[in-house]
Amino acid sequence: MVRNNGFSPRWDETFQFTVTCPQLALIMFRVVDGISASKDATVAQYCLPVRCIQTGYRMIELRDMKGERLGPTGLSVHITIDKPHE
């Protein structure tokens, strides 16, 4: 959670996943309101198939809970995909 910076938060986090079946795998990006009293405080989200992800710097466009675009909002991410050793 980033406090007092709702317009341009920066997480500086790295996540690593092992995907065993990329044909069926999805990745979901969610923005959650950390101070909301609601049980599901999801503000925005975007879900895409792992097989569609490309390496490099990407802008993940955010959508509301109805699936509609949330104006000029997005998450800037850097993606690296390591191929398995054969």
- Residue 9: inside a domain, yes or no? no
- Residue 10: inside a domain, yes or no? no
Neighbouring C-beta atoms of residue 60, cutoff 10 Å: 19
**Which residue did the predictor score with more confidence, 11 or 22?**
22
Structure tokens at 81: 């995909």
Single-letter residue type at 81:
I
- Residue 55: inside a domain, yes or no? yes
Q: Does residue 6 register a pLDDT over 70?
A: no
Q: How many domains does the chain have?
A: 1
pTM above 0.75, yes or no: no
- CA–CA gap between residue 15 and residue 84 (Å, rounded): 17
Structural domain that includes position 48? 26-79
- pLDDT bin (cut points 50, 70, 90) of residue 71 is confident
Structure tokens at 71: 């104006």
